[in-house]
Amino acid sequence: MIKYLDNSATTRPSAAVMDAMRLAMTDGYFNPSALYKPAVQAEKRMDDCRVLIQSKLGAKGRVIFTSSGTEADNLATLGCLSQKRTGGRILYTAGEHPAVIESCNAAVTLGFEAVGIPLLANGLVDLAALERLLTSDTLLICAMQVNNETGALQPLQAIAALRDTHCPEALLHVDGVQGFLRLPFQAERMGIDSYALSAHKVHGPKGVGALWINPRVRLQPRIYGGGQESGLRSGTQNTPGIAGLHAAIATYPARHAMRDLKLRLYEHLREAIPTLAVNGPDPYSAQAADHIINISFAPVRSETLLHALEAKEVYIGNGAACSSRLGKGSHVLRAMGLSNQRVQSAVRFSLNPFLDQQEIDEAVSEVIQSYQLLKRYNRQ
């Protein structure tokens, strides 16, 4: 039986999601921009999803549907900067997803300054360094909710407090792709200005995401056309995908055992392989996400271990799925100051709320066996 522990890369769509999407394609296929009743009903179903997202974020504001979390991040960053004067400063944590880092780098070509905020050795943002970087001309700060590689929970309230002290007009964007639904979140109360999410990370379909923005945010669209999504994201909406997103949110378990299972996985691995090293916050700490843990199994390289486990139908990750084939090593782990060997031997386990203890135990057993075998032949 497959043991899938790479849920930060993507998740399996749930039965409720597939049913909702099937119905949207067979019965609710109408264009939501049309004026007749079935089309108006399709639009109403989209708006129901917006309201559900707002309720999960504890905020009103606006919800804009996109094709992905990446597009949502790009719209939040480049879309807001197009409304600002050039020459201002953009700050982003050094462990951000490439969707944020590359959009900030693209802003440099438009006349802005983009600066990475250093990370501490545990993957959390260096707040003292951030405070030194905050200037009166800071326009945008990007800080993810949960790091997709290490599971580090960034101190968003502390970041917002520093922003309020030094540059209160600066916007704070949060990539919530790995945090949405896994953690309680109150966007308005926390001082967040925009928040990106993705359906396929929470058992919804690929090809749909969303961006929440608070009322003070002004965006310039990145896609032009018929003026859908309040003129901010033209193109006929992906109604089956949005139906799937709605179902994923509505059926995501309010209670789960991911933290207990993550710690069980860690404890059994540590008992059998005491030389392993955790990359990120202490797994037991409040700064560690329930569903992600990153571990180095030196001297075995991550790719070697991954392929050995693949042969046993155990699937884990070695960083961001979108950049894992580039062969450059994790920019997140390097930003934490880890050694080359530690980076090259790092793998990520990421869980979902539907896993059980037996699946974890079977996966752990295969990891231990594979590591013990590979270690004998490693020449590092």
Residue that has been written with the tokens 């990007």 in this structure: 142
| H-type alpha helices, the chain | 15-26, 37-57, 69-81, 98-108, 127-133, 156-166, 187-190, 239-251, 258-272, 302-310, 331-335, 340-344, 357-377
B/e letters for 82-116, b = 16+ CB within 10 Å, e = fewer, are eebeeebbbbbbbbbbebbbebbeebeeeebbbeb
Collapse the DSSP code of 138 into the 3-class scheme (helix H, G, I; strand E, B; otherwise coil) and give the result.
Answer: strand
Contacts of 271 (CB under 8 A, 6+ apart): none
Contacts of 64 (CB under 8 A, 6+ apart): 72, 75, 210, 211, 212, 213, 229, 230, 232, 233
CA 62 to chain centre: 20
Q: HEC states along 85-116?
A: CCCCEEEEECCCCHHHHHHHHHHHCCCCEEEE
Q: How far apart are CA 146 and CA 366, in angstroms?
A: 28
Q: Which of 195, 146, 147 is nearest to 171 (CA)?
A: 195
Residue that has been written with the tokens 């008992």 in this structure: 271
Q: Phi and psi dihedrals of 64, rounded to 5?
A: -115, 125
Say which DSSP state 175 is in. E
The bridge status of strand 277-278 relative to strand 292-296 is antiparallel
Q: Which of 145, 175, 140, 170 is nearest to 157 (CA)?
A: 145
Whether 142 is a known active-site residue: answer no
Amino acid identity at 242: I
Q: Which residues are catalytic?
A: 322
